[in-house]
Amino acid sequence: MKPAPFDYVRPRTLDDAVQALAGRPEAKVLAGGQSLVPLLSMRLAAPSLLVDINALPDLDHVRVDETGVRIGALARHAQVLADPEVRRVQPLVSLALANVAHPTIRNRGTTVGSLVHADAAAEMPMVIRLLEGSVEVAGPSGRRTIEAADLYLGPLESSLHHDEIAVEAFFPALPARTGVAFEEISRRHGDYAMCGVAALVTFDETGAISRVRAGYLSASDVPTVIDLSEPLADGITPASLAKAAAVALDQLDPETDIHATAAYRAHLVEVLTARVVTAAYDNAHQSTQE
Amino acid sequence: MSTEQLHRIRLQVNGVAHEVEVPARRLLSDALRHDLGLTGTHVGCEHGVCGACTILVDGTPMRSCLMFAVSAADSELTTVEGLANADGSLGPVQQAFRECHGLQCGFCTPGFLTTITAGIKENPSPTEDEAREMIAGNLCRCTGYQNIVKAVCRAAELAAEQSPSTGEPLS
């Protein structure tokens, strides 16, 4: 199981990296490689050129201020997960990262790389969509920002052009009176989840629910976010949670694979929607009382 | 494939520099085993699931089958061959595996040894649950993990005994 031959460059500047991609639509960017290298080894992908960005300077940052978390293209999952400021300003990033593969994979894999790999079974693409974040990319005509809502076009397909490199991701801070929760269910600890759900619950000034949104992984062929404010407007009850799960399932398309049947995944959507929305609601209560 | 370009790189492994010429697609695991003859690093699944090929890259456990040798040229690598004490005796993790019967066929062992070496530096006194979490990314088909978990806790004890200033992680 060896990759097919490819050309390889390891540029020292971002400009050189962008230039190396120009005119090579079959090229791929190599950051952590924890998803890309298996694809190459299994020959599911055979790029003509790898542009290794690991020697680029100043891309391994994790910067946190009160507006949110900015993660550079070479920041490893483990580095982001270990940052207490990230957890304070946007706890959902940390909650989700703890579920990304195993610690050894998180030591090499990058958060930005995971975002642009655009796997609907991965945690971080769903999280950036749910949090309405963005990704900054560098290309031949300069930089541009892609809103998370515009980032995913299809299975493993992002809206980056072939000659663009994602340089930074932005996850907005948790708004006031808002709670978060995350849970996924997998066959084995650290495996791809059969289904995963994250939720944001926001209260208004009176303490009533004003907004509920949930993100779903492995339940559709793209990372999917669903607004559940309407079914849950009158509060969290077994009946309203069941209605919310039905609204979610209506917009999802779970598929059968070797790990789970579509029917089982649909069941997990129902169970996890109720569980995670309830946990986010409780979390919002706690943070409102603090 | 006669025209495949070769890259001359320097790999720093267990404190020794090696010059090798490899194609860009050479997995780091294969460079260690085939180009350098360091066959202690084992290759199981070759797609990052089993953990047998885990080595330390600048002290941090990583899958050598998920890296290219050309990408590792700037890093200090430690393989299972580099885990023994300076006098050639077994290092604390190796000694603990021996005492606790933490291996049977031994195929997965190099990956466990490297992972645990870094793990007990980060957490010098792991609980049994923390030991399980530490090795959750490594598969063993023989032992049922019980004795490996015991070996993690024993390795932490041995490392603390060997470390001159107790409480300080080994450097």
3-class SS letters over A38-89: HHHHCCCCCCCEEEECCCCCCCCCEEEECCEEEEECCCEHHHHHCCHHHHHH
CA distances in angstroms from B45 to A213, B36, B65, B107, B118, listed in the order given: 39, 21, 9, 12, 22
At a CB cut-off of 8 Å and minimum separation 6, what does A63 contact? A69, A70
Q: In B96-165, which ranges are E strands?
A: none
Q: Is B6 on the interface with A (CB under 8 A)?
A: no
Judge whether residue B67 has pLDDT over 80: yes
Choose among A72, A50, A55: nearest CA to A63.
A72
Instruction: Please state whether beta strands A49-52 and A62-65 pair in parallel, antiparallel, or not at all (unpaired).
Output: unpaired
Nearest CA in chain B to A100: B137
A178-185/B16-23 β-pairing: unpaired
Spatial distance between the Cα atoms of A84 and A91, rounded to a whole number of angstroms: 9
Q: How many CA atoms lie within 13 A of B24 on its CB side?
A: 19
For residue B171, what pLDDT band results from cuts at 50, 70 and 90? very low
Determine the average pLDDT of the residues in B150-164: 92
Q: How far is A26 from chain B (nearest CA, A)?
A: 16
Counting beta carbons within 10 angstroms of the beta carbon of residue A186, is it exposed (0 to 12), middle (13 to 18) or buried (19 or more)? Answer: middle
Amino acid A202: pLDDT: 97
Q: Do domains A7-52 and A178-289 have the same CATH topology?
A: no
Is there a common fold for B6-82 and B92-162?
no
The ranges assigned to domains in chain A are 7-52, 62-172, 178-289
- The pLDDT tens digits for A31-66 are 999 999 999 999 999 999 999 999 999 999 999 999
Q: Which of B60, B61, B137 sits opposite A190 (nearest CB)?
A: B137
Q: Kindly determine whether residue A189 and residue B4, on different chains, have CB atoms separated by under 8 Å.
A: no
The count of other CB atoms within 10 Å of the CB of residue A26 is: 12
Cα B41 to Cα A90, B31, B51, B80, distances in angstroms: 39, 10, 10, 7
Please report residues of B whose CB lies closer than 8 A to that of A1.
46-47
- Does the CA dihedral B57-A83-A87-A71 come out positive or negative? negative
Distances (CA, A) of B149 to A10, A107, A177, B37, B118: 40, 22, 42, 30, 15
CATH class of B92-162: mainly alpha
CB A140 within 8 A of CB A163: yes
Higher-confidence residue of B168 and B56: namely B56
Residue B167 clears pLDDT 50, i.e. is over it: no
Give the burial class of B47: count Cβ atoms within 10 A of its Cβ; 0-12 exposed, 13-18 middle, 19 or more buried: middle
Q: Are A20 and A9 in contact (CB under 8 A)?
A: yes
CATH 3.40.50.1860, domain A178-289, yes or no: no
- Contact: B4, A5; criterion CB under 8 Å: yes
B78 part of contact set with chain A, CB < 8 Å: no
Best CA proximity match to A9, nearest among A51, A46, A37: A51
In A84-225, which residue ranges form alpha helices assigned H by DSSP? Answer: 84-89, 91-97, 103-106, 111-117, 123-130
- Distance between CA A114 and CA B70 in Å, rounded? 22
| Chain A interface includes B150 (CB < 8 A) | no
Q: Do B71 and A52 touch (CB under 8 A)?
A: yes
Q: Please give the radius of gyration of chain A, using alpha carbons only, rounded to the nearest integer.
A: 19
User: Which residues fall within 8 angstroms of residue A82, CB to CB, at 6 or more apart?
Assistant: none
Which residues on chain A are in Cβ contact (under 8 Å) with B27? 2-3, 37, 41
Q: What is the pLDDT of residue A18?
A: 98
Q: What is the pLDDT of residue B166?
A: 46
- The stretches of chain A forming alpha helices (DSSP H) are 14-21, 36-41, 77-81, 84-89, 91-97, 103-106, 111-117, 123-130, 238-251, 262-289
Give me the residue spans of the domains in chain B.
6-82, 92-162
What contacts B89, CB < 8 A, 6 or more positions away? B95
Q: According to the model, what pLDDT value does residue A2 have? A: 95
Q: Does domain A62-172 have CATH number 3.30.465.10?
A: yes
Whether A81 and A101 have beta carbons less than 8 Å apart is answered as no
CB count within 10 Å of CB A7 equals 16
Does domain B6-82 correspond to CATH entry 3.10.20.30?
yes
Q: Give CB contacts under 8 A, 24+ apart, made by B127-136.
A: B128/B153, B133/A103, B134/A103, B136/A102, B136/A103, B136/A189, B136/A190
Residues 21-60 on B with a CB inside 8 Å of A are 23-25, 27, 30, 46-48, 51, 54, 57, 60
Q: Kindly list the distances between the CA atom of residue B113 and the CA atoms of A22, B101, B148, in Å, as whole numbers in the listed order.
A: 43, 13, 10
A7-52 in CATH: which number? 3.30.43.10
Chain A residues in contact with B131 (beta carbon < 8 A): none
A34, A43, A102: which to substitute to probe chain B, counting the most B Cβ within 10 Å?
Answer: A102
Q: In what order do the strands lie in the sheet with B16-23?
A: B16-23, B6-13, B76-78, B54-57, B60-63
Compute the average pLDDT of residues B14-22.
97
Backbone angles phi, psi at B21, to 5 degrees: -115, 120
- Report residues of chain A scoring pLDDT below 50: none
Q: Which ipTM score applies to this complex?
A: 0.93
Closest residue in chain B to residue A105, using alpha carbons only: B62
